[in-house]
């Protein structure tokens, strides 16, 4: 396939023949990832959508969430110089105190259930303006690593993001069929993300216009709207 799995990530087979990618189970301190082996030139941008389902928790609010990230593909192929970022509120993208962030990270989109990704905690740089407490059920953008820091414990600064969304990103409990994802948009437990990273030219330079929408049931909420990322 065109994707590599790492950390605690795995492909499930339940229900049989209709499994899914599972990044972590309900155990603390885990980080799983999948990364596309095929690179693309940065002037192309991308648009993706995917269903997601987060259930089972030992914390209130549930912890932690997941990220969708871009990295510099030059020398960072799976198994050759690539390492996932820190666990917990860093969502596998940013640093966490002395734990390094993802290798050559460029943009990290955090789908944050617990609320640590979008605030200046655990050694992260910057956060939602004026927010000093957890920012749960939010979507936040963090920027690139610090190329001058070989330890990868600086950079990944907060760029922009939503305030608390009017619904939970995690559904809290598993359905009767343990771990089977909800695929019916009529269900209040249905979740889907729509991510657009579109290149535009501003003052002669290419920047990216980022829009992120989250669907819960039949309702779609714009969490990040046309934020420019250089």
In angstroms, what is the C-alpha Rg of the chain? 17
Most confident region among 2-11, 26-35, 194-203 by mean pLDDT: 194-203
C-alpha–C-alpha distance, residues 152 and 92, integer Å: 13
Which three-class secondary structure state does DSSP give residue 88? helix
Runs of H (alpha helix) within 42-140 = none
pLDDT at res. 198: 96
CB 47 within 8 A of CB 210: no
Q: In what order do the strands lie in the sheet with 65-71?
A: 65-71, 105-112, 138-142, 158-161
Count helices and strands in the chain by DSSP H and E runs: 0, 12
Selected residue with higher pLDDT from 194 and 31: 194
Which three-class secondary structure state does DSSP give residue 220? strand
Confidence bin at 212 (pLDDT 50/70/90): very high
Q: Is the pLDDT of residue 173 over 60?
A: no
Burial 179-214 (b: 16+ CB within 10 A, else e): bbbbeeeeeebbbbbbbbbeeeeeeeeeebbbbbbb
Percentage above 70 pLDDT, the chain: 92
- Note the pLDDT tens digit of each residue in 59-87: 777 889 999 999 998 876 666 778 999 99
> Mean pLDDT throughout 217-225?
98
1-5, 89-93, 176-180, 217-221: least confidently modelled range? 176-180
Domains in the chain, please, with CATH?
3-229 (2.60.120.200)
Mean pLDDT of all residues belonging to the chain: 90
Go through the chain and tell me how many residues it has.
230
C-alpha–C-alpha distance, residues 97 and 185, integer Å: 39
C-alpha–C-alpha distance, residues 211 and 16, integer Å: 35
Question: DSSP assignment of 7-18, as one string?
Answer: ET-EE---STT-
How many other C-beta atoms can be found within 10 angstroms of the C-beta atom of residue 163? 14
C-alpha–C-alpha distance, residues 158 and 163, integer Å: 13
> Mean pLDDT throughout 46-66?
86
C-alpha–C-alpha distance, residues 224 and 22, integer Å: 25
CA–CA distances in Å: residue 182 to residues 55, 68, 187: 11, 20, 8
Q: Terminal CA-to-CA distance of the chain, rounded, Å?
A: 31
Q: Is the pLDDT of residue 32 over 60?
A: yes
């Amino acid at each position: 396939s065109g994707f590599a799995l790492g950390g605690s990530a795995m492909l499930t087979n339940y229900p049989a023949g209709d499994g899914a990618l599972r990044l972590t189970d309900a155990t603390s301190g885990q980080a799983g990832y999948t990364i596309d082996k095929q690179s693309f030139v940065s002037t192309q941008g991308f648009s993706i959508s995917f269903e997601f389902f987060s259930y089972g928790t030992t914390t209130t609010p549930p912890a932690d969430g997941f990220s969708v990230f871009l990295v510099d593909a030059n020398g960072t192929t799976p198994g050759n110089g690539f390492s996932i970022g820190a666990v917990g509120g860093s969502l596998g993208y940013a640093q966490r105190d002395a734990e390094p962030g993802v290798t050559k990270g460029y943009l990290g989109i955090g789908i944050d259930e617990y609320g640590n990704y979008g605030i200046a905690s655990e050694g992260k740089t910057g956060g939602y303006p004026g927010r000093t407490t957890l920012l749960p059920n939010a979507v936040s953008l963090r920027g690139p690593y610090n190329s001058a820091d070989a330890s990868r414990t600086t950079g990944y600064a907060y760029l922009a993001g939503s305030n608390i969304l009017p619904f939970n990103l995690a559904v809290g409990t598993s359905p009767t069929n343990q771990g089977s994802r909800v695929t019916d948009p009529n269900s209040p437990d249905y979740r889907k993300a729509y991510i657009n990273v579109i290149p535009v030219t501003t003052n002669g330079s290419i920047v990216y216009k980022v829009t992120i929408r989250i669907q819960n049931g039949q309702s779609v909420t714009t969490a990040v709207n046309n934020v420019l990322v250089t």
